[in-house]
Structure 1
């Protein structure tokens, strides 16, 4: 079946339908990872977005459900150059096409994803529609695309009830703003007992459980929308409990302390972004998935200092809070980039809670 991807600037890409047969309006973003399409599809941070994979062949190693980052797929649509019809991998349990069908994700293949990516880099992230209607009226579609804005995405992706992963070490409270499974696993592998809380849990409840540390997770959307969560984070900041935050959690902590955030032209999404640790001078390869960054120049320098910087565009990638046991990063140390370049940050969090237990 023919499929059409239409962007708000009037650009049209014609290809073939993959996955579920349904129309989708979404923000179009691109990911530069060469592998990890399953992790991309199951990352809650992609809620409210349609993902373009820049690597030309997707699906060749199939789907291994052990590798998923959450219980379902989140993107509004999946956009690829070529979807492999054969999956060759001793661990595979289904094809990527069957996976898209199972989770009702529509998509398009056979388009020039390189041209699409260059367009998004040149003009910035745009909204788009995936449609099968050959008689579409572009003059009718464009105003709808320009008016589209995803909202309340954290509410969609967070867990509904708290749950605990048992461990014999430190007790960690993990705030789920759209947490990838590997965050809890990275803590659990270090023997921490991890209790995962819904995003809108009151700070009073978390502090009453007397955790040894608090983890603020990744998640989707504009951080400034999370006004009630930011108010609760202010109370967590005022406690003496060590806090480690990733991605959206990093942005929310900064906003809670008077900093500002802004939207990047086309975001950072992929497994190959270099970041520099400003304390050691070392550069690490990081996995990233975000469209917003913290404006550290608008932050009180007596309260916080930059900890990491992006080597490509000099945007902030981490913050250390002065006089506090609080450390936050924009990238994903749990995602095994490098493959283990930045896993040491979880060990640093363990030390913040008192060292090996």
Structure 2
């Protein structure tokens, strides 16, 4: 109940968003793209919606460029057609400072800036998890999201210190609870940083990337689900261009060729599939995933082959052609099936010429 109360207070106290309302013509003029053809607009991949995908994104170098970027967090924007006027929040938000913070807001701020309080709070959360054996706690996630949204990077150092302690817990019975709390904090950090400045985001990801690397190389069956939830809620309803740093990190999981443990192999693909939050707006990533997955179809371990089949089906699920529409950027399902059929035919021919012996090892 206390966590829900803090979450509600943060929501009440959050600084207001600044909304912009612009015509589509103005937006396309600003991004230096030709204005969409309203008459011949068709659903799916078009030249006029490439700019809201990750394929066409160049991260800004200055804070002004970052603030002026038109981020559209819902995936339906631009897929079917463009409205005449777009209303969207400016990529900037007022933040509380020590000098301008109202007294009722400072109560929460001062509490969470107290290192001893944060330490005791996290210890309490771990104990509560041991008693209730909860899954990823959405109320805690919302609380941390609200705290990092309202107070920015000021809270980061205390929490990063606690995160390091949580993932290095040696007592086996406590590890699951520790990782669950850590995952809730990290998800809150990621979502709460939505309107942070470029400088703040740079500092955040300089610390989060090494941390996540360590987490992903030491996953266990008990901790995998909570980190999957962390990625899911951390990226939910966000423009993939905002999340390019996290997406780049996930791409390193795709390209990791050093994993030999079957569980870790399936785990990294489990985390990679959390990218489904971004749907059709990361086509190049889906093509990369599809190519890697096809190469692993003949993996010697059955558990991995079965999981790769799921990965392939997800990567092909965005190859959708609606009436009068087109799909040109995501992996082509027909071409993929043809490739698999060809490989299957080659495997059958090889088997006919040289059948497996009775003593051959089967996985």
What TM-score results when the alignment is normalised by the length of structure 2?
Answer: 0.29
Q: Relative CO higher for 1 or 2, CA cutoff 8 Å, sep ≥ 6?
A: 2
Which protein has the bigger strand share? 1
Bigger-Rg structure (1/2): 2
Normalising by the residue count of structure 1, what TM-score does the alignment of the two structures yield? 0.30
Higher-helix-fraction structure: 2
